[in-house]
Each structure stands twice: as C-alpha cells, then as structure tokens.
Chain A
C-alpha cells in the first residue's frame, strides 16, 4: 500500500536531488531575478520613501516571473523519457505527486527569494518601518500561493505545444488576488502606514481555497490524454 506521505516525501527528495544535480531552475531564476532588480533600479531610481511604496510590487512581480521558470522546469523533467507514464501506471496517489512537486517548487522559489531579498534592500535602499517579522508570513503565504497554482497550471499546460506561453496565460490571471494581497501586505509592512492583517488573511484564505481545489482536480489533470 502506498501512502500519501511516503510518496510525497520520496517525490520531494527526488526533485531536490534532480535540481541539486542540474541546477536548471535555481540558476535560471537567480539570473532572471538579478536582471529584474538591476533593470528596475536603473529605470526608476527612487527616493527612500518611493522605494518603500513601490518595492512590494517590484519584488513580487520579479518573483512571479522568476517562479515561472521553475514551474515549467518541474514538469519538463517528467516529460523527458516519458517518466510521468511510470508514475501514471503505478498505484501511487496522484496527489502525492502534486504535493511533492509543489513543496519542491516552494523550496526552490524560497531559496531564490532569500538570496534576492538582500539585493533588493541594497538596490532600493530599503528601511523597513513596520514589523519586519511579518514579512516572513507574507513570504510563506505568498510563495505558496504562487507555487501551488503554478504547479497545477504547469501540469495543465504540459501536453500543449506552447506550454511555456500557456503557463503565464493561465497562472497570471488566477494569481491577481494573491498578488494584490502580497503587494499590499508587503507595502504596509515596509511603510508602517497600516496593518497588513486584512491582506494576510486574504492570502491565507486564497492558499486554502486553491490548495484544496488543486488537490481535488489534479488526478483528472494527471490522467488527461
């Protein structure tokens, strides 16, 4: 009997090992994020106050685009040598594959976010006026919002000919409420003007709703012809 937990853990460990050996997703995300930070900093050249107001938007837009790279990679690995078919002919639960992949993507994107945050602070001369620890909550909830839907929609677009284009077309519209929550919560913390509580609650509800929906629908996606 195959348990959800055991297969999720095995899939996560396997994906981390594959990424450790290839570094395809992490390198591409890092390179992309650095480019975005540098270009934005030259394009806007903001004052310290302006930086606090726009940084939330810039940071999350950069992470959203960068995450796309990882999300496409994660399923491409399963297409090479048709390895996904080996999973489909096994009795392992479909949701374990989804959870393993989503957790793997969460880990990869978080690594990039942690590497990029100091760079953002330096380039945009940021000084946080609100409770900085709440940024950790925004980071966790926001990143999960990106990767859970991204992992799902990357699987949906897997069998299309223009999958790299299809993923953002599907993911970005669905991510708008989450992106709004991430940006507003981050800006509220950076400026210290308002409480981010409402936006954090929005993110939490968004994560619960979409995680549930993805888990309910993934088996259909996995076995679609």
Chain B
C-alpha cells in the first residue's frame, strides 16, 4: 500500500489574536498535496486571516505553520501563489506591464510567460487599457493570472469568484480543477461553494476562528449556502 504523501501544509495549534480578539483559535490540521480545499464560513470567521497566515503576510500569535515540513517561510515563498480580495495590481499600468513587474520579482523572464498568463485567463495581452479601467471581473481574472504566473505548487485564493460573471467563474473553476489534477494544492476561500462543486476535494467550515467541520466534497457547504439564500 503506498504511503500517504507528505503534507504540503501543517497547522500546529495556530492562534491569531488582534488585540484581545481571537481571529483563529488553536487550529491544528494537515493538508495533503494535489487537492483542492474549499474554505467556507460566515463573514469574520477567520478564513482570510488563515490564508494570510499561510501566505506569510501575518504571523501566528501562537503555534507553528509548516510549509513542506519547514517553518522557514522564505524558501516557500517562490512555491506559493496568493490572490487576495483586493486585486494586488497597479491601476495605472496595463495588464502586461503589471505582470512583467511581478515576473521580475520571481526572477522570471517576462516573455512569453506574461502573455501566456494573461491569455490563460481569457484576457488580451495586447490590450492597452490600464487596469484601473478594467471591470471588476477582468481585474479578478488578471489577479488570478498574477497569482499563477510563477507556477506555484500551493495556491491561496481569497474570494476568486466575487464580482465575476457565471461563465467566467465556471471557466476559472475548470482552470482550478486542471491545476489540481496537475498536482497543485489549492485553497479557495469563497461564499459561493457552487462554483467548486465539481472540483473541490474537501471542505473546511470555519466558525469563530475554529475548524468547525472538515468533510470530503462540499455538500455540507452547499447545503448551508442554500439554506442561507432561501
């Protein structure tokens, strides 16, 4: 019987406090590679904070985060891609100018990686419009292209489907499915679990800073979201 693959990510009693408020409480969990995890929960439950901790944008108040069995963040940075709620893009630059700059941060040759990344999310690399003139959906897609530019093994996506039309969301979800099939590990925070129905392997339900439930698929999240909307 093959041994379980080494976890990509381990949370060891991770807590995050903002002043007296605990955003995350004693999270302990392990995540296998090549899977897509949907992270769900109410607003303020701690989902985005969890992603920021994993990405290294914030430090746990207590506990340890191991990425590829190491708590040294720096070597892991080149292997992680992070898409935030905000676009993380310069409004005054075009899509290609943005991605060329970010490619430089990862030591990548700008061409043709940037053009390919822009095309892969359904945008035109030759578009001379500045990102500030893009629609919210176009920004989201470009933001995803930025996060994927360096081919990360671990992808952290915060609300990738917000303000994206149904067709674009479906194509983004299909892209995530292909990335997962190629061995990437993906965490997706979203309030729209239906988009992940076909591609998610596991769902985590975060409530009051704790992992309230962890289940295969996203059935429970879907049921909960349906219950909320009805």
Q: List A residues at the B interface (Cβ < 8 Å).
A: 1-3, 6-7, 10-11, 14, 17-18, 21-22, 77, 80-83, 85-92, 225
Contact = CB atoms under 8 A, between A and B. Distances in A.
9 contacts: A6-B107, A18-B92, A21-B92, A83-B90, A86-B82, A86-B102, A89-B82, A90-B106, A91-B77
B12 interface: no
Task: Kindly list the 7 A-B residue pairs having the minimum CB-CB distance in the complex, ordered from nearest.
Answer: A10-B104, A90-B105, A92-B105, A86-B88, A82-B86, A2-B107, A91-B77
Contacts of B84: 82, 85
B146 A86 contact: yes
Contacts of A1: 107
B105 A85 contact: no
Which label, helix, strand, loop or mixed, suits the secondary structure of the A interface? Answer: helix
Contact of A17 (B74, B87, B93): B93
Contact of B93 (A10, A14, A85, A89): A14
Contacts of A90: 77-78, 102, 105-106
A89 B104 contact: no
A87 to B, nearest CB: 7
Nearest to B102: A86
B102 to A, nearest CB: 6
Contacts of A225: 58-59
Nearest to A88: B57
Given A85-B84, A89-B82, A2 B105 contact: yes
Contact of A6 (B80, B86, B93, B104): B104
Contacts of B93: 14, 17-18
B9 to A, nearest CB: 15
Contact of B92 (A11, A22, A88, A92): A22
Contacts of B101: 10-11, 14
A14 B104 CA distance: 11
A89 B82 CA distance: 7
Nearest to B152: A89
Contacts of B87: 81
Contacts, number: 78
Given A80-B91, A91-B74, A91-B78, A17 B97 contact: yes
Interface string B64-81: 000000000010011010
B55 interface: yes
B122 interface: no
B11 interface: no
A185 to B, nearest CB: 38
Nearest to B77: A91
Contacts of A3: 107
B88 A83 contact: yes
A87 B57 contact: no
- Most B CB contacts (10 A, CB to CB) among A1, A10, A89 go to A89
A10 B109 CA distance: 12
Contact of A81 (B56, B91, B107): B91
Contacts of B57: 85, 88-89
Contacts of A83: 88-90
Contacts of B78: 90-91
A225 B84 CA distance: 17
Contacts of A2: 104-107
Nearest to A93: B105
Contacts of B104: 2, 6-7, 10, 92
Nearest to A6: B104
Nearest to A2: B107
B105 A81 contact: no
A89 B55 CA distance: 6
A82 B106 contact: no
Nearest to B146: A86
B90 A82 contact: no
Contacts of B91: 80-81
B97 A7 contact: no
